[in-house]
Amino acid sequence: AQSVTQLGSHVSVSEGALVLLRCNYSSSVPPYLFWYVQYPNQGLQLLLKYTSAATLVKGINGFEAEFKKSETSFHLTKPSAHMSDAAEYFCAVSPSGAGSYQLTFGKGTKLSVIP
Amino acid sequence: DADVTQTPRNRITKTGKRIMLECSQTKGHDRMYWYRQDPGLGLRLIYYSFDVKDINKGEISDGYSVSRQAQAKFSLSLESAIPNQTALYFCATSPGQSTGELFFGEGSRLTVL
């Protein structure tokens, strides 16, 4: 069994401030972990993924996430928020090697960026 | 043009009506999926298909059916729509040997009155 908890359904940051979106997972086997982003009126797109290689993963648009097994966390960060980062972000987990059909998504965190 | 195309993008229908949402892809992927998105609930898997002859139920398949007409086409049907099926529906694809990356369409917003 696997699950994902995203802390905070809505996060607001000022432009230029640090972005931190929290994700904790539960998995009975070694997990693969993902962050997807959904811009308004669009489908989701992959931001970054952890598949048991380096624990610090870099993604598109300056985002990165660190896999911490001891904390069962995979938090998403970006040093300086841009207005264009306003979107909804989803953390997802699957058993390692299982494939996309076993992805479990979190409930999402909506990021607002204040000018 | 989008790699994963969903039609219609918006649909309003009445309780009891049959509705079909269609998905076509040009990515050449074997695997296709239908998800439902509700505010505050994230995405939930309705059905998935590994190829034309391999269709599987997901987490919330009750009240839905699917058809994989070809490798590139995967449609979702609501035989008798009800108001709690009002949601945003997404089609997605992935390669056969996938590590979890899904490629999404832009969504079909369905409202059942």
DSSP A1-63: -EEEEEE-SEEEEETTSPEEEEEEEEESSPEEEEEEEE-TTS-EEEEEEE-SS-SEEE-GGG-
Share the mean pLDDT of chain B: 93
On whether any CB of chain B is under 8 Å from the CB of A40, the answer is: no
Residues of A in contact with B56 (CB under 8 A): 101
Question: Parallel, antiparallel, or unpaired for β A2-7 and A19-27?
Answer: antiparallel
What integer is the mean pLDDT of A13-33? 93
What is the C-alpha separation between B37 and B105, in angstroms, rounded?
Answer: 13
Q: Predicted confidence band at B1 (pLDDT cuts at 50, 70, 90)?
A: low
Helix (H, G, I), strand (E, B) or coil at A110: strand
Chain B contacts in chain A segment 8-27 (CB below 8 A): 9
Check whether A29 has a pLDDT greater than 90: no
Alpha carbon B65 to chain centroid, angstroms: 10
- A32 touching B (Cβ < 8 Å): yes
> Min CA distance, B76 vs chain A (Å)?
17
Q: In this model, does residue A54 exceed pLDDT 90?
A: no
Q: How confident is the model at residue B96 (pLDDT cuts 50, 70, 90)?
A: confident
Q: At a CB cut-off of 8 Å and minimum separation 6, what does A103 contact? A: A34, A92, A93, A94, B45, B100, B102
Q: What pLDDT, on the 0 to 100 scale, is given for residue B98?
A: 65
Which of B43, B48, B90 lies closest to A101 in CB terms? Answer: B48
pLDDT value at B2 more than 80: no
Give DSSP secondary structure letters for A55-97: SEEE-GGG-EEEEETTTTEEEEEESS--GGG-EEEEEEEEETT
Residue A36 or residue B99, greater confidence: A36
- Residue range B52-87, pLDDT digits in tens: 999 999 999 999 999 999 999 999 999 999 999 999
pLDDT recorded at residue A28? 81
B88 and A CB contact within 8 Å: no
